[in-house]
Amino acid sequence: MENPIDGGEFVYLSGFGNHFSSEALAGALPVAQNSPLVCPYGLYAEQISGTSFTSPRNRNLFSWFYRIKPSVTHEPFKPRVPGNGRILSEFNNSNSSANPTQLRWKPLDAPDSPTDFIDGLSTVCGSGSSFMRHGYAIHMYTANKSMDNCAFCNADGDFLIVPQQGRLLVTTECGRLKVSPGEIAILPQGFRFSVNLPDGPSRGYVAEIFGTHFQLPDLGPIGANGLASPRDFLVPTAWFEDKSYPGYTIVQKFGGELFDAVQDFSPFNVVAWHGNYVPYMYDLNKFCPYNTVLFDHSDPSINTVLTAPTDKPGVALLDFVIFPPRWLVAEHTFRPPYYHRNCMSEFMGLIHGGYEAKADGFLPGGASLHSCMTPHGPDTKSYEATIARGNDVGPCKITDTMAFMFESSLIPRISQWASESPFLDQDYYQCWIGLKSHFAVTKTSPENPSLGNGD
Ligand SMILES: [Fe+2]
């Protein structure tokens, strides 16, 4: 057993990609084999595979559960009524649109009626297909009610959840996680989990990836240390309940549609488990950012927390990048992000505080999308304020901020829900319209007197 980490209410294990072991009852884990004829305490052995059986060993993900009843013990799946038609897992011109415009959304309001995490999910954009095992979806959630007598199981992909308002108590088959705004949780494909909302109205962001899993980015010349440290990732410890739950419902997301299966017991009946395919969480405040220390602006990839790779080296299906509090020290440099166009597509969110490139309009709980080759950069106010401060600003610290980006090599299509949302900021483009020409031949080319201004 690994040394447990005291997480306050819950106890965690630490590490990224470890082969963990945990048991809620001493002796519940079989010794020296996975499938004994009879498991300790009469438990059932059940494996969950997150990669194909034959994936290379360094990418092979699986865990073994030792549970009171196996997860197969349920009535047939039936379409959930009502479903959630705002969830997409396959993006085409019948359910989503192409739009190269810079898009921004204001923060979502709390729901008017009782809404749990499942019913509160809405897809903003995405690309590819969960059926083809290649692509991603970006969702936002707004909920005001804990999941009641039901668990969610996403057969389509992994969820990376970014709470922005309200903590999430996430019960999983491996144990429980308490995730606060400023922390993230990863719920891998296929895990059954339930979300409770101890703070009431809650909202946040979800990146879902199809066909691969998140890993730590290579550090290259940075070396062995820096960015997200493996030891800061927390994994739940075994926790189980042995209760009768008449009418308990497993809500399975399969191809973007929801299906219900009824059983009479809690799915959180795993007394012991071992494996490297696990839910986990991470506190973004533990991220060790790197940046320029002399001049110019680093590319945002320098702050990658987790990456979901494609088969092309260095090309991500989806990167999760953060913009945390940090010192700015660059000399004779325009310090906010540079203006640019990118072959990758960038979805941004803000957990708290402000964002250095937008003086107005990009609010905590809001979002923006700058798709492939769509120009973007600091708004007029941010540009003018930066120029006005001049060269003598000295080192300064950006505080009270935590912005993030989901960046993908696949071009997103926009869901109908997001295109027609009342929270879509119709005036977003205005933030750049005021950028004026500062072109002045005499000032920028003093060495060439022939380029006078005609005076
Ligand atoms: Fe960008």
Instruction: Report how far ligand 1's centroid is from the alpha carbon of 411 (Å).
Output: 14
- Please tell me the predicted confidence (pLDDT) of residue 194: 98
Tokens representing residue 190 in the block: 């296929």
Interatomic CA distance for residues 302 and 217, integer angstroms: 10
- Structural domains for the chain: 5-284 (2.60.120.10), 287-440 (2.60.120.10)
Integer Cα distance of 148 and 151 in angstroms = 8
**Residue 113 and residue 184 in contact, taking contact as beta carbons nearer than 8 Å:** no
Q: Which of 207, 208, 206, 248 is nearest to 120 (CA)?
A: 206
Instruction: Give the pLDDT confidence score for residue 455 in this predicted structure.
Output: 41
Task: Kindly list the strands in the beta sheet with 257-265, ordered across the sheet, starting from the edge strand earlier in the chain.
Answer: 78-79, 257-265, 244-254, 150-154, 192-196, 168-172, 175-179
Q: Could you tell me the distance, in angstroms and rounded to a whole number, from the CA of residue 244 to the centre of ligand 1? A: 51
Q: Is 346 annotated as a binding residue?
A: yes
Residue 376 in marked binding region: yes
Q: How far is the CA of 377 from the centre of ligand 1 (A)?
A: 7
Whole-number Å distance, alpha carbon 343 to ligand 1 midpoint, is 10
340 is in an annotated binding site: yes
DSSP-assigned letter for residue 4: P
Q: Does residue 355 have a known ligand-binding role?
A: yes
- Distance (Å, whole) CA 282 – CA 215: 13
Enzyme catalytic residues = 297
Structure tokens at 394: 């000295």
Q: What was the pLDDT predicted at 360? A: 85
What is the pLDDT at residue 8?
82
Distance 322 CA to ligand 1 centre (A): 12
Residue 186: which of 167, 200, 170, 166 has the closest Cα? 170
What spacing in Å lies between the alpha carbon of 319 and ligand 1's midpoint? 13
HSE-CB for 41 with a 13 A CA cutoff: 20
Rounded Cα distance between 277 and 88, Å, is 25
Is omega for the bond preceding 82 within 30 degrees of 0, making it cis?
A: yes
What count of residues does the chain have? 455
What does the pLDDT look like over 186-245, one tens digit per residue?
Answer: 999 999 999 999 999 999 999 999 999 999 999 999 999 999 999 999 999 999 999 999
C-alpha to C-alpha distance for 179 and 194, rounded to whole angstroms? 13
Q: Which residues of the chain have pLDDT under 70?
A: 1-3, 443-455
